């Protein structure tokens, strides 16, 4: 029986397992090894906070590329949504915990099907893979508590890494009770208002989640958040882009041409009284293709100068969430700090955050909560994750040319240090964003996961240690 180890049990791990068994030509033994967030919900859908909404409308969230109505049809059977009309359901941004229930129901059905068929075997292991040893005899996955698991092939479906190191000396924060280094750790479940104020470093979607959790827990203090560029998350409103570029429109366009094209459409939409962000959506189905045509220099230039601009237009929030954020800003409950954090000092159980403005310095005192919402660790060359370290140090994988992920080929096979494509190690999701760019959200991942399974089952079977 061929053995496949899937490292990571979020959306990508679950859907990889399903597509692999559906396409397999022979019986498979699939090991899903997951630790860090709940299987099969992953970081995004493990939240139990009902105010954390999806940032994609229900109609965009089907798990299956060949059944795009799957999620909405599932919602129609859900007691909380069954009374709603389909048209309304499609446009809804449902709580992420409901999407977690959806993934759980997909897993339950899948498990039952595998049991009925009696062909494949599934092993779900709650553990962390800390390293791999790949040689002519097969692949050994080293785990924290379950020893070594020997397999023929591996899918890396590890998702996002914990937030990056802070952009200023942070010795004071390590171990300080006010510091929440991982905003996805479900801190809100044990939240007690200790008085004082909160400071959020970052201004993206995780900042929004954090503000909502503080407000819903009746946090009394002020909530400061820092955004160097002053960008604030935008609302989807009730806009849906249906007019996309064709591949021919974009053939051999350089980054600079695309920026002009964006500006042209953004201005045109503005003139028509529509939001400029629809110009970003117009590129949506082609972003992976566009990224592929750029040079390394163009990719680096884009990440340095346009990433924040793009992300704020691309990753938008539900209108109802936007209203809460806007009102909190208007009330002075939420305060935008545009200047750079210089340092943080401890003041007993609280912190002081020192800000270096262009004109003046200021200190924010009585900070009882400091959240690192700067986004996941992005460097792979210098990754501190034990698994990624082991893969790179052992030459089984290498960082991509812009050090934004692991380098893979068009079959999602990792490229080894010697430049050859691995026949046993494959990667998907965030970990390959340097090669594919937009490979984060369900609408991007669902197609990729099916294609990944096709590539894996078509590979000849490498050996396995018995």
Ligand X SMILES: Cc1cc2nc3c(=O)[nH]c(=O)nc-3n(C[C@H](O)[C@H](O)[C@H](O)COP(=O)(O)OP(=O)(O)OC[C@H]3O[C@@H](n4cnc5c(N)ncnc54)[C@H](O)[C@@H]3O)c2cc1C
The answer to whether residue 402 forms part of the interface with ligand X (CB under 6 A) is no
Residue in 2, 3, 4, 12 binding ligand X, rule: CB under 6 A: 12
* Smallest gap from residue 241 Cβ to ligand X (A): 16
* Smallest gap from residue 376 Cβ to ligand X (A): 8
Residue in 2, 5, 6, 10 binding ligand X, rule: CB under 6 A: 10
The answer to whether residue 160 forms part of the interface with ligand X (CB under 6 A) is yes
The answer to whether residue 442 forms part of the interface with ligand X (CB under 6 A) is yes
Which is nearer to ligand X, 9 or 138 (by Cβ)? 9
CA dihedral (392, 397, 398, 400) in degrees, to 10, reads -140
Stretch of 22-30, 291-299, 344-352, 435-443 lying at the interface with ligand X (CB under 6 A): 435-443
Residue in 2, 4, 6, 11 binding ligand X, rule: CB under 6 A: 11
The answer to whether residue 92 forms part of the interface with ligand X (CB under 6 A) is no
Stretch of 70-78, 155-163, 322-330, 360-368 lying at the interface with ligand X (CB under 6 A): 155-163
Which is nearer to ligand X, 366 or 394 (by Cβ)? 394
| Helix (H), strand (E) counts: the chain | 16, 16
Which is nearer to ligand X, 351 or 452 (by Cβ)? 452
* Smallest gap from residue 270 Cβ to ligand X (A): 27
Instruction: Judge whether 437 and 443 are in contact, CB under 8 Å.
Output: no
Instruction: Judge whether 39 and 9 are in contact, CB under 8 Å.
Output: yes
Measured distance CA(208)–CA(200) in Å, rounded: 10
Residue in 2, 3, 4, 9 binding ligand X, rule: CB under 6 A: 9
Measured distance CA(315)–CA(208) in Å, rounded: 12
Secondary structure (DSSP) of 352-376: EEEEE-SS-EEEEEEEEEEEE-S-B
Distance of CA 348 to the CA centre of its chain: 35
The answer to whether residue 7 forms part of the interface with ligand X (CB under 6 A) is yes
Measured distance CA(205)–CA(373) in Å, rounded: 9
* Smallest gap from residue 84 Cβ to ligand X (A): 19
Looking at the DSSP assignment, which residues form a beta bridge with residue 126?
34
The answer to whether residue 424 forms part of the interface with ligand X (CB under 6 A) is no
* Smallest gap from residue 404 Cβ to ligand X (A): 16
Residue in 56, 341, 391, 392 binding ligand X, rule: CB under 6 A: 56
Site for ligand X in 173-192 (CB under 6 A): 184
Query: Quick one: DSSP state of residue 255?
Result: H
The answer to whether residue 131 forms part of the interface with ligand X (CB under 6 A) is no
The answer to whether residue 204 forms part of the interface with ligand X (CB under 6 A) is no
The answer to whether residue 208 forms part of the interface with ligand X (CB under 6 A) is no
Closest CA to 180 of 219, 128, 131: 219
The answer to whether residue 373 forms part of the interface with ligand X (CB under 6 A) is no
The answer to whether residue 72 forms part of the interface with ligand X (CB under 6 A) is no
Closest CA to 150 of 171, 165, 135, 167: 135
Based on the number of CB atoms within 10 Å of its own CB, is 273 exposed (0-12), middle (13-18) or buried (19 or more)? exposed
Task: Specify the 3-state DSSP secondary structure of 69.
Answer: coil
Instruction: Judge whether 415 and 397 are in contact, CB under 8 Å.
Output: yes
* Smallest gap from residue 105 Cβ to ligand X (A): 16
Q: What are phi and psi of 170, to 5 degrees?
A: -125, 20
Measured distance CA(255)–CA(306) in Å, rounded: 11
Task: Give the interface with ligand X as residue ranges (CB under 6 A).
Answer: 7-13, 33-37, 42-44, 54-56, 128-129, 157-160, 184, 387, 429, 440-442
């Amino acid at each position: 029986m061929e053995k496949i180890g899937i490292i990571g049990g979020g959306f990508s791990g679950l859907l990889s397992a399903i597509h692999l068994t559906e396409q397999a030509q022979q019986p498979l033994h699939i090991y899903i090894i997951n630790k860090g967030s709940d299987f099969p919900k992953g970081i995004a859908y493990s939240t139990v906070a009902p105010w954390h909404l999806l940032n994609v409308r229900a109609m965009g969230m089907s798990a299956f590329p060949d059944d795009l109505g799957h999620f909405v049809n599932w919602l129609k059977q859900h007691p909380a949504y069954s009374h709603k009309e389909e048209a309304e359901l499609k446009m809804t941004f449902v709580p992420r915990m409901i999407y977690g229930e959806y993934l759980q129901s997909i897993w339950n059905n899948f498990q039952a099907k595998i049991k009925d068929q009696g062909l494949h075997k599934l092993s779900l292991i709650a553990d962390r893979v800390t390293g791999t040893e790949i040689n002519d005899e097969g692949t050994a996955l080293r785990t924290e508590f379950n020893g070594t698991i020997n397999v023929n092939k591996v899918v890396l479906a590890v998702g996002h890494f914990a937030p990056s190191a802070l952009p200023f000396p942070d010795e004071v924060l390590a171990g300080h009770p006010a510091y929440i280094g991982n905003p996805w750790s479900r801190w809100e479940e044990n939240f007690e208002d200790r008085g004082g104020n909160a400071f959020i470093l970052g201004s993206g979607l995780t900042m929004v989640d954090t503000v909502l959790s503080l407000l819903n827990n009746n946090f009394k203090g002020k909530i400061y958040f820092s955004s160097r560029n002053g960008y604030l998350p935008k609302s989807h409103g009730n806009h849906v882009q249906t007019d996309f570029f064709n591949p021919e429109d974009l053939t051999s366009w350089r980054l600079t041409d695309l920026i002009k094209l964006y500006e042209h459409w953004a201005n045109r939409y503005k003139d028509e009284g529509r939001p400029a962000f629809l110009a970003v959506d117009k590129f949506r189905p082609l972003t992976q293709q566009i990224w592929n045509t750029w040079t390394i220099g163009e990719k680096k230039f884009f990440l340095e100068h346009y990433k924040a601009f793009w992300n704020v237009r691309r990753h938008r929030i539900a209108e109802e969430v936007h209203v809460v954020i806007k009102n909190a800003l208007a009330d002075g409950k939420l305060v935008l700090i545009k200047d750079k954090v210089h340092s943080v000092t401890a003041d007993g159980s609280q912190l002081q955050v020192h800000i270096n403005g262009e004109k003046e310095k200021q200190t924010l005192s009585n900070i009882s909560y400091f959240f690192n919402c700067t986004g996941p660790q992005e460097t792979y060359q210098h990754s501190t994750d034990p698994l990624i370290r082991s893969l790179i140090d052992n030459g089984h994988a290498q960082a991509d040319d812009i050090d934004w992920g692991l380098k893979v080929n068009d079959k999602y096979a990792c490229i080894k240090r010697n430049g050859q494509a691995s026949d046993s190690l494959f990667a998907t999701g965030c970990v390959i964003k340097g090669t594919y760019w937009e490979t984060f959200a369900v609408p991007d991942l669902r197609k990729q996961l099916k294609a990944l399974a096709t590539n894996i089952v078509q590979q000849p079977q490498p050996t396995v240690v018995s």
